[in-house]
């Protein structure tokens, strides 16, 4: 007999567990499913999930009406000319093989037995769900020194929702643009998960774009784990422009000196949404840099930013800064920011700042005094607030595509 006391399951938690495939194809998935039955979902007492109480909020995933989304295969990629790679549960990866790129289905599940975020439970929640729902890995390898057209990763929908697991290796000196497409869950359950492990070789450059436009009833739990080699550059852009309940985790580790991280993101929030971005940037070696800026537009709902910067002993000359700025356009919405620094080296520069404000009335008056009507002037200022971080991408096609997404969201909110 075990001393371990099982908590009673919430109805929604049980419903979600019941949603998982009962006889998973992969061996690992069965173990994950057993663990899911045993562990359940984290609640607010688990620090990593304090602001996103999954046990309570998961009701959105099981009660949300399935909206008729557009099937993935007819969606145009975010960036024209992209190679689309389907992350299926148990299917061979599609997407043309070409010089410098190889795709393989490995059958592995995400390893949920350890968590990159020490504030989570002994099991990693996002990976556990991803594995239990049957996601198995597609390995995307970019050969050293190559530069390919953009790659767009999409998880195929099933009755149990869309669940993708990608292992991306970008070898030394290569340049890659990878879009993680998180479009509306079509057909199956309004629940999706995604795990990506990205390994960036020495001197390589990766621009990773998260394009999240889930439907108003969808739940998505995502995680990106990144290792960044010497003199390598990792640029990440996260756009959250949809979903009922969304959590996107980024866990990075610099493993070579000279590694540079630039994370930018825009969270657009409406009534009834809960959107959480949680990042853990671990600086393990000396001479690495990171900047992280999120801009949030809140017309309703709840936004969460948890940003952790960890500097390991000996990781001298780390220069890491993060900022989380929110524009609150309504009294109905809220944005919770929890920046944290954990520094075990004595010669570093680390900083964080969180701000929340409203539209600047002086700016509004200036625009209106030139004849721009109030609604248009406000829209211009909201757009300006987020455009600043989008434009830092220095990738014209990506800037244009993301601004189009943001414009579409703003028009719906006007």
Partner 1 sequence: MLEIKNLHARVAETGTEILRGIDLKVEAGEVAAIMGPNGSGKSTLSYILAGREDYEVTEGDILFNGESILEMDPAERAASGVFLAFQYPLEIPGVATMTFLKTAVNAQRKARGEAELTTPDFMRRVKTSAADLKIDMDMLKRPLNVGFSGGEKKRAEILQMALLQPTLCVMDETDSGLDIDALKIVSDGVNALRGPERAFLVITHYQRLLDHIVPDTVHVLYKGRIIRSGDKSLALTLENEGYAQIIGEAA
Q: How far apart are CA 216 and CA 180, in angstroms?
A: 19
- The contact mask relative to partner 1 for 116-155 (x = CB under 8 A, - = no) is ----------------------------------------
Nearer to partner 1, 313 or 353 (CB): 353
Question: Which of 198/389 has CB closer to partner 1?
Answer: 389
Nearer to partner 1, 97 or 374 (CB): 374
Residue 332 CB, nearest distance to partner 1 (Å)?
Answer: 24
How wide is the angle at C-alpha 170 spanned by C-alphas 222 and 291, nearest 5°? 60
Beta bridge partners of 291: 262, 321
The whole-angstrom separation of Cα 3 and Cα 114 is 23
Q: CB 265 → partner 1: shortest distance, Å? A: 16
Residue 173's closest CA among 138, 139, 142?
A: 142
308 vs 386, which CB is nearer to partner 1?
A: 386
Contact at 8 Å (CB) between 198 and 225? yes
What does 70-108 look like in DSSP terms, one character per residue? PPGGGSPPSSTTPEEEEE-SSSPP-S--BTTEEEEE--P
Q: Which is nearer to partner 1, 2 or 369 (CB)?
A: 369
Within 221-373, residue ranges assigned H as helices are 361-368
Distance CA 220, CA 209 (A): 16
Q: Is 329 in the site for partner 1 (CB under 8 A)?
A: no
Q: Write the DSSP symbol of residue 65.
A: P
Least separation in angstroms between CB 373 and partner 1:
5
Secondary structure element (H or E) that encloses residue 127, with its range: helix 125-132
Q: Smaller CB distance to partner 1: residue 54 or 268? A: 268
Q: Closest separation between CB of residue 406 and partner 1, Å?
A: 12
The three-point CA angle 130-240-41 to 5° equals 35
Alpha-carbon radius of gyration of the chain? 21
Q: How many residues bind partner 1 (CB under 8 A)?
A: 24
Q: How far is the CB of 385 from partner 1 (least distance, A)?
A: 6
8 A C-beta contact, residue 251 and residue 117? yes
Q: Nearest distance from residue 92's CB to partner 1, in Å?
A: 45
Q: Which is nearer to partner 1, 272 or 383 (CB)?
A: 383
Nearer to partner 1, 282 or 327 (CB): 327
Least gap, CB of 321 to partner 1 (angstroms): 18
* Residues 375-394 within binding reach of partner 1 (CB under 8 A): 376-377, 380-381, 383-388, 391
Burial class (CB in 10 A: 0-12, 13-18, 19+), 315: buried
How many alpha carbons fall within 13 Å on the CB side of residue 291?
8
| d(C-alpha 243, C-alpha 214), whole Å | 4
- Residues 336-375 within binding reach of partner 1 (CB under 8 A): 361-363, 365-374
By beta-carbon proximity to partner 1, the closer residue of 225 and 326 is 326
How far is the C-alpha of 212 from the C-alpha of 220, rounded, in Å? Answer: 9
Q: How far is the CB of 165 from partner 1 (least distance, A)?
A: 37
CA distances from 291 to 90, 216, 294 (A): 37, 31, 10
Shortest CB 387 distance to partner 1, Å = 5
User: Residue numbers of the site for partner 1 (CB under 8 A)?
Assistant: 361-363, 365-374, 376-377, 380-381, 383-388, 391
């Amino acid at each position: 007999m075990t001393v371990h006391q099982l908590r009673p399951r919430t109805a929604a938690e049980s419903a979600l567990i019941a949603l998982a495939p009962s006889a998973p194809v992969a061996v690992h998935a069965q173990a994950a499913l057993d663990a899911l039955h045993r562990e359940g979902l984290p609640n607010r007492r688990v620090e990593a999930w304090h602001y996103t109480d999954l046990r309570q909020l998961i009701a959105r995933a099981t009660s949300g009406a399935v909206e008729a989304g557009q099937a993935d295969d007819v969606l145009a990629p975010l960036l024209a000319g992209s190679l689309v790679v389907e992350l299926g549960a148990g299917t061979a990866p599609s997407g043309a093989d070409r010089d410098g790129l190889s795709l393989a289905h490995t059958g592995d599940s995400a390893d949920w037995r350890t968590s990159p975020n020490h504030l989570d439970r002994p099991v990693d929640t996002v990976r556990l769900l991803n594995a239990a729902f049957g996601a198995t890995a597609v390995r995307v390898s970019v050969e050293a020194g190559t530069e390919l057209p953009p790659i767009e990763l999409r998880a195929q929908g099933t009755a149990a929702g869309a669940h993708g697991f990608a292992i991306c290796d970008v070898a030394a000196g290569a340049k890659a643009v990878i879009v993680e497409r998180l479009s509306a869950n079509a057909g199956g359950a309004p629940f999706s998960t995604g795990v990506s492990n990205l390994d960036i070789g020495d001197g390589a450059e990766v621009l990773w774009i998260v394009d999240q436009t889930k439907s108003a009833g969808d739940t998505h739990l995502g995680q990106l784990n990144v290792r960044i080699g010497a003199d390598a550059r990792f640029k990440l852009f996260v756009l959250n422009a949809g979903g009922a309940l969304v959590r996107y985790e980024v866990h990075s580790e610099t493993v070579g000196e000279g590694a540079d991280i630039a994370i930018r993101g825009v969270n657009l929030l409406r009534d009834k949404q809960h959107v959480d971005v949680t990042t853990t940037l671990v600086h393990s070696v000396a001479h690495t840099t990171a900047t992280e800026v999120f801009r949030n537009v809140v017309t309703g709902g709840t936004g969460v930013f948890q940003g952790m910067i960890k500097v390991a002993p000996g990781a001298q000359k780390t220069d890491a800064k993060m900022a989380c700025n929110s524009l609150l356009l309504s009294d109905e919405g809220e944005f919770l920011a929890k920046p944290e620094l954990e520094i075990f080296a004595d010669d570093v520069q680390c900083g964080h700042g969180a701000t929340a404000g409203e539209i600047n009335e002086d700016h509004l008056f200036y625009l209106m005094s030139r004849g721009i009507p109030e609604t248009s002037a406000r829209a211009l200022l909201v757009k300006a607030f987020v455009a600043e971080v989008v434009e830092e991408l220095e990738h014209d096609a990506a800037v244009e595509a993301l601004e189009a997404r943001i414009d579409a969201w703003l028009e719906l909110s006007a």
